[in-house]
């Protein structure tokens, strides 16, 4: 499990399983070398850029970030036919850690024959550039017999794939490819004068069980024409960085153009929890520090409750207020988003405080009862319809996603997380949680549309993961399964404790502590 300062906690279901892990971050200094701050390569997945029904339209992308800061933003694309008509659009979230390279790919939905132009714009914190690529597609449109079963969830992370996108649905999200693929491509493409380090836990997901020694495989490739000497030093600390568990050091001598591979046994840990690894590589002409984390006996972590005295009554009163509001469900067929296989509706509803929220209901066309996937989006991310062959999906856009509603509830244009945070009665997330409950109520009040109420799944990533968990906790009799990938906005007390040991604060604690400096005792 390679991680920076965020940890992924996953709840498994029979249908969907999310993978634990996130890219490592790195702070590197290389002597005597300069590089373009950010470089991007986009190319068709096959050399001829010719695709067909069996080979979907797919493009590979490589983004190298040489800057000392993470780069975040979007990849937006449009597809135009030979006459210049726009036939498809899409958008994906992009994040490239500091001093790292993102190797990934994405599919472009195309069903008609012809020659097309793909126009891509990548906008990051400190980078914006557009690219144009041509491709062709041969073969008839998809037919019902082309329908495929949902892949083995171990092979494809549906929650992460779908929620990485804010545009037209595809089966790929812009996420990091496997470590093996990245390492092999880098070894072929990096210029002379690089040190390539790959650090991987012997346990694939980085979660170690009781009595298992924590071991990592370390591979260091020397691309220099000179021998490299120095040390590899791994320092293990507890989750909040306040206690050093132990240090392991390996003396290195790597011949020119050589590779050193070894297994390092980390200092023993006893208590259940998440532990940090600071891996410092100090060589003749190269210094690099990467950060990782592993879990030990995660199932035994005991998280204390931090419930204020009025907790139960507060939420009981909140739900009672929601019940007084007529949802006024408005269901509108959307021809443009419907497909050969799915009927799509926009569902608008009145929620807590008479605020409008909406979602996209996607129903497979073959008649029958289908289990329902209720999807919740990441922080300020607008969700589009999701298309599954064997599930009904309902993607929920809570208050603040629609621009008109956002102006209504946030006239001062505060960061969403901070809207009325000083007033629990009017805090924005009080309403957001009720929006999620209203969405579940919609499903239960419209079972005649093919919903199997005995099989309801709430799922999401990041903020969406927290919304899924909170919704299930408030409506345990209505939600059968939760799939939560990397929940944030959840264990706030622990989040604050961990941040105290960090040199640089990240969102959301950074924003909270900086909130006018008015509430230092809270944040």
Given strand 50-52, what is the order of strands in its sheet?
A: 50-52, 127-138, 114-124, 71-80, 86-96
Chain centroid to CA 33: 33
- pTM score, whole prediction: 0.60
Give the separation between CA 376 and CA 399, rounded to whole angstroms.
12
Residues near 84 by beta carbon (within 8 Å), at least 6 away in sequence? none
Q: Where in the chain is the domain with CATH 2.60.40.10?
A: 193-298
* Mean pLDDT taken over the chain: 82
- CATH architecture assigned to 34-140+153-168: Sandwich (2.60)
Confidence band, pLDDT 50/70/90 cuts, at residue 175: low
Check whether 243 has a pLDDT greater than 50.
yes
Residues near 432 by beta carbon (within 8 Å), at least 6 away in sequence? 398, 399, 400, 467
Given strand 370-376, what is the order of strands in its sheet?
A: 330-333, 342-350, 356-364, 392-397, 370-376, 451-461, 481-485
Q: Where in the chain is the domain with CATH 2.60.40.2550?
A: 34-140+153-168
Q: Where in the chain is the domain with CATH 3.40.50.1820?
A: 311-490
CATH class of 193-298: mainly beta
Model confidence over 221-239: pLDDT tens digits? 999 999 999 999 999 999 8
Confidence band, pLDDT 50/70/90 cuts, at residue 275: very high
- From the options 3.40.50.1100, 3.40.50.1820, 3.40.50.920, 3.40.50.300, give the CATH code of 311-490: 3.40.50.1820
Confidence band, pLDDT 50/70/90 cuts, at residue 11: very low
Helix (H, G, I), strand (E, B) or coil at 75: strand
Check whether 292 has a pLDDT greater than 80.
yes
Confidence band, pLDDT 50/70/90 cuts, at residue 53: confident
């Amino acid at each position: 499990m390679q991680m920076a300062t965020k940890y992924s906690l996953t709840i498994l279901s029979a249908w969907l399983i999310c993978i634990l892990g996130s890219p490592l971050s790195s702070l590197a200094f290389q002597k005597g070398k300069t590089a373009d701050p950010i470089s991007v390569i986009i190319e068709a997945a096959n050399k001829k850029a010719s695709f067909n029904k069996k080979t979907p339209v797919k493009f590979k992308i490589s983004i190298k970030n040489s800057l000392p800061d993470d780069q975040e933003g979007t990849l937006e694309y449009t597809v135009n036919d030979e006459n210049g008509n726009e036939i498809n659009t899409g958008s994906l979230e992009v994040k490239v850690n500091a001093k790292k390279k993102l190797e990934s790919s994405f599919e472009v939905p195309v069903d008609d024959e012809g020659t097309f132009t793909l126009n891509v714009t990548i906008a990051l914190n400190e980078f914006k550039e557009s690219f144009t690529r041509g491709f062709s597609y041969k073969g008839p449109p998809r037919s019902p017999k082309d329908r495929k079963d949902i892949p083995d969830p171990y092979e494809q992370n549906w929650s992460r794939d779908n929620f990485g996108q804010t545009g037209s649905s595809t089966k790929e999200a812009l996420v990091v490819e496997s470590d093996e693929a990245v390492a092999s491509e880098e070894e072929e493409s990096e210029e002379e004068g690089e040190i390539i380090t790959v650090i991987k836990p012997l346990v694939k997901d980085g979660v170690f069980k009781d009595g298992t020694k924590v071991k990592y495989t370390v591979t260091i490739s020397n691309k220099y024409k000179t021998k490299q000497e120095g040390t590899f030093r791994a320092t293990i600390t507890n989750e909040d960085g306040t206690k050093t568990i132990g240090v392991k050091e390996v003396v290195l001598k790597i011949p020119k153009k050589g590779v050193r591979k070894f297994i390092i046994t980390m200092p023993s840990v006893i208590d259940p929890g998440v532990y940090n690894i600071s891996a410092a590589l100090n060589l003749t002409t190269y210094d690099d520090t990467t950060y990782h984390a592993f879990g030990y006996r995660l199932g035994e972590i005991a998280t204390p409750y931090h419930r204020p005295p009025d907790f139960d009554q507060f939420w009981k009163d909140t739900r009672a207020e929601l019940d007084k509001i007529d949802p006024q469900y408005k269901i509108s067929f959307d021809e443009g988003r419907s497909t050969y296989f799915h009927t799509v509706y926009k569902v608008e509803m009145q929620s807590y405080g008479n605020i409008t929220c909406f979602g996209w209901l996607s129903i497979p066309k073959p008649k029958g009862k289908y289990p329902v996937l209720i999807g919740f989006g990441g922080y300020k991310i607008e969700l589009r319809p999701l298309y599954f062959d064997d599930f009904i999906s309902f993607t929920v856009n809570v208050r603040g996603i629609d621009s008109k509603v956002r102006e209504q509830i946030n006239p001062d244009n505060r960061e969403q997380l901070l809207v009325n945070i000083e007033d629990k009665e009017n805090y924005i997330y009080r309403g957001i949680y009720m929006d999620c409950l209203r969405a579940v109520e919609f499903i239960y009040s419209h079972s005649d549309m093919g919903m199997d109420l005995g099989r309801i799944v709430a799922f999401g990533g990041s903020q969406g993961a927290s919304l899924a968990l909170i919704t299930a906790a408030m409506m345990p009799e209505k939600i059968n399964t939760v799939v939560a990938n990397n929940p944030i906005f959840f264990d706030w007390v622990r989040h604050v404790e961990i941040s105290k040991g960090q040199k640089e604060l990240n969102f959301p604690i950074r924003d909270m502590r900086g909130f006018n400096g008015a509430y230092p005792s809270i944040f």
